[in-house]
Structure 1
Amino acid sequence: MSVSLQEQPQAASLPGARRSLTESAAHGTALEEFERSDGRPAFVLTFTEVKLLGIAGVGFFLDAYDLFIINPVSTMLQYRLYGGKSLPPNLEGFVKAGANIGSVIGQFAFGYAADSLGRKAVYGKELMLIIIATILTLTTPTGSLSPNNCLIYLGMFRILLGVGVGGDYPMSASITSDRSNLRKRGTMLAYVFSNQGWGSLVGSLATLIVLAIYRGAIEKRNELSKVDGVWRIVVGISLIPAFGTLYQRVTLPESKRFVFSQKLKLTGQHTEAQPRDIAELEKEKVTAEGSTDADEKPSKNGSAEIVEERNELSEDNDLPLEVLIKKKAHFKGMVSFPCLAQKFLNYFSEWKHAKLLIGTCVCWFLLDIAFYGINLNQNVVLGQIGFDGKSGTEWNRLFKISTGNMIITALGFVPGYYASILTIEILGRKWIQIQGFLMAALFLGVLAGKFHELSKGAFIVCFALLQFFFNFGANTTTYCYPAEVFPTRFRATAHGISAASGKAGAIISALVFNTLSKKIGTPAVLWIFFGCCIAGAFFTLLLPEVKGRDPDALLAAEIEAKRQAVVGI
């Protein structure tokens, strides 16, 4: 049975629940199928799943394309604006970090909005931002502004681009996780994230092709200003998949988890008085224990949370508990925004929940310090393997740099992502993340210790293996974990916070890598990245294995246990 965008939900049971559900409610939490294996491996997809991945995956294609294309673009701007000299270090860091700065804003904002207003109300808006920002980026007036002001102009609109790119992280993760079979959820998320590899690869390939087209003008006629056209075309190509997916995103139906949370009705034993009675029992219990005010709520993390849950049920007393724990906050003007924030804080005030958020945030932060520190500053690596473009004509230099980027991407990025796709449901997320961190640390240690001694061939092999284990490891699983470990009610918000933590690490690397490497040397910086990977492996121990784990069912069991404790069952 295939996963469908409109599929009937799966049967779910709640331990200890005493409510009778309608036939449709009794069959389901949305779009998780009936959890019956069709006998095919998890990585074999149906047409409907491929369609869903196409809609969600284009965001990550654009993420990598737009983030990593800045490397060859910044090199072209050296020739267009500074006569081949290096860009000013501070402005180069600002341009390279701009998209990541915007990503932090987008990840927070879109993640919270998706949980508050629903996926359908928000999905597609992040892609609109990407399109607008890309067009504005192309208007950079390199012929009229001073070189430094051109970089500032470009960097500002790359921040706006980053808001859209960042917003795609929690949106696509939630859209995919909401619609995935538990048996294939990790594979589906890994497939979506693997589009980063294709985005980087296509970006390098597009640069090579456009440079080849312009070879006559740049090399033979010595029209170096034509690089202005090269980088604009390369950046503008990303608009094609963006426009191609926009309609599908804005018309994608709401997640069934939200639809059923509002539509399903109860029959049988449930009565309207039951939730209110539980709340009253709790108040009486508090009063009996010596409270001076019958309406005073108990302390944090105590029975106040139960009262809050019961009051919520009293507002929606026609919905089953299994559905309530998956429903989005009501949208009544702006009321839903602070309402969600309060519930989010209540939920994560418990250590067993907070440690999961700490784990996803810190692991992603440490990973991105190392990952983006390497990939946003590939000129250092390219210099070690002979593709730094320091010799030959201007065109030859640009072409050699683009070729080096292509080699790095083809050897490490794409194979690593697909190793994760093929094994994530077998090995599990936790094992892949820990071994990925440790293996990346190993190769970073080799590169740091033998930075000036490795031959070109040995350096390429070592760096390719580093990239492989970044992607067959924490770069994939840090994206998957927040979409699988947190319940639907808080999934997008928690994913946005986790992703923003990662981008904070990327910003640090982008801003300080060049300056720090000049002060203490590149090998010393690589040792810092080594330490980040070791620490990431330890923080992964805070996280459970999420293969086959249903966080909504766990939350339902928690709420039911609190209800039974209050009522005295």
Structure 2
Amino acid sequence: MDGSTGDHAPAWCIEAACRARVATMPEQSTNDGHTTSNTTTELARHTSDLAEFELSERRAVFLLTRTELKLLGIAGVGFFLDAYDLFVINPVATMLQYRLYGGKHLPPNLEGFMKAGANIGSVIGQFAFGYAADALGRKAVYGKELMLIILATILTLTTPTGSLSPEHSLIYLAIFRILLGVGVGGDYPMSASITSDRSNLRKRGTMLAYIFSNQGWGSFMGSLITIIVLAAYKHVMEDKGEVSKVDGAWRIVVAVSLVPAFGTLYQRLTLPESTRFKASQKLINARSAAEEGDAIAEIKKAQAGDDIKFGRQTPGNSNEKLESTPSKSDEDTAPPEEVATKKAHFADFVKYFSEWRHAKLLIGTCTCWFLLDIAFYGINLNQNVVLQQIGYDGTTGTPWNRLFKISTGNMIITALGFVPGYYASILTIEKLGRKWIQIQGFLMAALFLGILAGKFHTLSKPAFIVNFAFLQFFFNFGANTTTYCYPAEVFPTRYRATAHGLSAAAGKAGAIISALAFNTLSKDIGTPAVLWIFFGCCIAGAGFTLLLPEVKARDPDLILAEEIRAERDARARQQQEEAK
């Protein structure tokens, strides 16, 4: 090892080095007087090399086992709700125009605040839940973010549009959407860590992409549910002329999100702690080379145990013995929550990322996500501009016809680019790699943004739709998927949730800037100029991706183990030299 983070060394090399180190470790005495033999390390040698075992599998990575499908259902619902709740605000805002302002536009500042509310809360939730997941353990925290989403959704439905002034109604709604955003934001680091902790290296990226693809389905279902509800209200709004009844329509649209939330709440609250997370707590606290060897073996055991659970190994091999082998260090007998919540945790995080080799990874994930979300949410939270260009902005016709046309246009946009892009990532992420997909996604998105910006007023409707569909496709077959995957794969389990939360919060900060500034900038400098700003963000995002390594088949826990070993060897040599 040269002290790097593994940018140039594949994960199996690091793992082999760790395994060789552990296997040659002699019997030693620990600081508390206990004798540690190399029984555990001997057993570790009989554990199948993780990367080699996974790469030898013949099953296609996108074919999931029953247990993986269950995990997909539990973790994926968060991203379904994320997109549903974030993007459904577009048709809801249009409905509120007719309920509160007689069909006139909402005040720009209040509209921006209402649309940005969930993203403002997300920044808080992503950091808070990310840190809590590392400090308290996944099990202690998982499910609480979903409870918050349920509570905030119910409170949103209580908006008293009949008794408050229009302005105060929008403020009331926006405040509880901030609370909703805290729960939605908390789901990012929680579901990413839960999934990454339980996935083997060969399918980790695919599982994360599957989880994130639910964002596309959430957006699609938001438009579909809106269309269905509006169809049910057609008689009341069209024939009877009771346009104010739209107040019930938007509440039903929002309330539908409670169904999947309640459906998975119990599974989240009862999901056990992952064995990999438990094992990772011991590595950072190992006080000797022997304990370090035990911790590395525990990480291997953890992965082997999850492989059995996920149907990737049969229990009738040597790994079964490993699961029943007691550990010898004090940390092994301590509750994982006790180890994880030690006072120095935040100091450990700061110390780890104070080194440039680690800091550049966090800078890369945060900056790429920030730049991506400026463009992505700038486009998708203001789809009225796009709908106007393709003739689905609902500027003509009765109120019902306008609302129905807008919802139809939103579904067309989602179906054309959102969903196909996610599944292109799922099918190729383990072959092409995260880095390649992210760079080409940024560059291709920049290309189509440039076309839209340069020809904004001259493109025909079919040409505009095609260009916009390709833009959405390469957002999702690109950085919108990989910026979520990267923090869950590049950082060790010990710091994964916190680092993922910080990265996601940086992204949502970009979304907030875009949501608040888009309308104002569009009026001041024109929409094409704003699209050129998005173009620049995508080019810069491709550049910052160069800070990141390829994480395919990369195990950050074993890389961390080797770094700790190298640092201790260096200190030991220094002490020997000083003693001379």
SS of corresponding position for 1:468: helix
Classify 1:560/1:359 alpha carbon distance in 2 versus 1 (closer, same or farther; 3 Å).
Answer: same
Aligned length: 514
1:237 alignment partner, one of 256, 274, 278: 256
* Aligned position for 2:86: 67
Give SS of 2:54's match: coil
Residue 60 of structure 1 aligns to which amino acid in structure 2? Answer: F
How much does 1:260 deviate? 4.0
Residue 165 of structure 1 aligns with which residue? Answer: 184
Distance of aligned partners of 1:262 and 1:94 in 2 relative to their CA distance in 1, 3 Å threshold:
closer
Structure 1 residue identity aligned to 2:163: S
Which of these residues, 188, 191, 196, is aligned with residue 177 of structure 1?
A: 196
Q: Match of 1:107, as an amino acid?
A: Q
CA–CA distance in structure 1, aligned partners of residues 132 and 461 of structure 2: 48
Counterparts of 1:97-246 in structure 2, within 5 Å, are 97-246=116-265
Q: Would the alpha carbon gap of residues 516 and 121 (structure 1) be closer, same or farther in structure 2, given more than 3 Å must change?
A: same
Cα 1:169–1:337, aligned 2, differ >3 Å: closer, same or farther? farther
Partner of 1:497: 502
Q: 2: distance between equivalents of 1:235 and 1:315?
A: 55
What residue ranges of structure 1 are gaps of 5+ in the alignment?
A: 1-9, 265-308
Counterpart selection for 1:397 from 388, 402, 412 = 402
Q: 1:24, CA displacement in angstroms?
A: 6.9
- Residue segments in structure 2 that go unaligned for 5+ positions in a row: 1-14, 27-37, 303-330
Partner of 2:367: 362
Kept in 1: contact 2:122–2:186 (CA 8 A): yes
**2:161 aligns to what SS in structure 1?**
coil
Instruction: Tell me the alpha carbon deviations over residues 471-512 of structure 1, each in whole angstroms, 9 at most, x when there is no partner.
Output: 000000000000000001000000000000000000000111
Partner of 2:321: none
- C-alpha deviation, 1:28, in angstroms: 6.6
**What is the TM-score with the length of structure 2 in the denominator?**
0.84
Q: 2:357 — aligned with what?
A: 352
Q: Residue 180 of structure 1 aligns to which amino acid in structure 2?
A: S
Q: Distance between the aligned counterparts of 1:332 and 1:262, measured in 2?
A: 10
Distance in 2 (alpha carbons) for counterparts of 1:318 and 1:473: 38
Q: 1:380 aligns to what?
A: 385
What letter matches 2:147 in structure 1? M
1:531 aligns with 2:536: yes
**Cα offsets for 1:381-413 (capped at 9, x unmatched):** 000000000000000000000000000000000
Contact 1:437 1:534 in 2 (8 A): yes
Distance 1:521 1:444 in 2: 14
TM-superposed deviation, 1:245: 0.3
- CA RMSD across the alignment: 2.5
- Deviation track 1:138-191 (CA, whole Å, cap 9, x = no partner) reads 000000000000000000000000000000000000000001110110000000
Q: Residues 147 and 265 of structure 2 are in contact (CA less than 8 Å); yes or no, is this contact kept in structure 1?
A: yes
Match of 1:427 among 432, 436, 445: 432
- In structure 2, the CA distance between the partners of 1:395 and 1:318, relative to structure 1 (3 Å rule), is same
| Identity, % of aligned positions | 77
- Would the aligned equivalents of 2:286 and 2:295 in 1 still touch at CA under 8 Å? no
Tell me how far apart the structure 2 counterparts of residues 506 and 362 of structure 1 sit (CA, whole Å).
13
Q: Please list the CA deviations of residues 409-450 of structure 1 after superposition, one character each: whole Å capped at 9, or x if unmatched.
A: 000000000000000001000000000000000000000000
Q: Give yes or no for the alignment of 1:14 onto 2:23.
A: no
Q: How far did 1:320 drift?
A: 1.9
Q: Are residue 313 (structure 1) and residue 287 (structure 2) matched?
A: yes
- 2:446 aligns with 441
Q: Look up the match of 1:342.
A: 347
Task: Report the 3-state secondary structure (helix = DSSP H, G, I; strand = E; otherwise coil) of the residue aligned with 1:182.
Answer: coil
Residue number among 407, 420, 426 corresponding to 2:412 in the alignment: 407
- Aligned mates of 2:292, 2:425 — CA distance in 1: 42
Matched, 1:459 2:464: yes
Give the letter aligned to residue 400 of structure 1: K
SS of 1:16's equivalent in the other structure is helix
SS of 1:469's partner is helix
Aligned to 2:32: none
8 A contact 2:18–2:562 mirrored in 1 = no
Show CA shifts across 1:180-233 (max 9, x none).
Answer: 110110000000000000000000000000000000001111101111111000
1:79 counterpart residue number? 98
Partner of residue 492, structure 2: 487
Instruction: Report the secondary structure of 2:105's partner residue.
Output: coil
Tell me by how many angstroms 1:564 deviates: 1.5
Distance 1:98 1:203 in 2: 18
Please tell me the residue identity of whatever aligns with 1:313: R
Q: Indicate how the Cα distance of structure 1 residues 316 and 227 shifts in structure 2: closer, same or farther if over 3 A, else same.
A: farther
Q: 1:32 to 1:50 in 2, by over 3 A?
A: farther
Decide whether aligned partners of structure 1 residues 536 and 412 sit closer, same or farther in structure 2, where only a CA change above 3 A counts.
same
Q: Which amino acid aligns with 1:204?
A: S
Normalised by the length of structure 1, the TM-score is: 0.86
Q: In 2, Cα distance between the equivalents of 1:190 and 1:79?
A: 38
Task: Provide the C-alpha distance between the structure 2 equivalents of 1:194 and 1:350, rounded to a whole number of angstroms.
Answer: 34
- Structure 1 distance, partners of 2:16, 2:233, is 59
Q: Are residues 122 and 385 of structure 1, via their aligned partners in 2, closer, same or farther at CA, if it must alter by over 3 Å?
A: same
CA distance in 1, matches of 2:199, 2:171: 42
Q: CA deviation at 1:553?
A: 1.1
Q: 1 CA distance for matches of 2:157 and 2:188?
A: 24
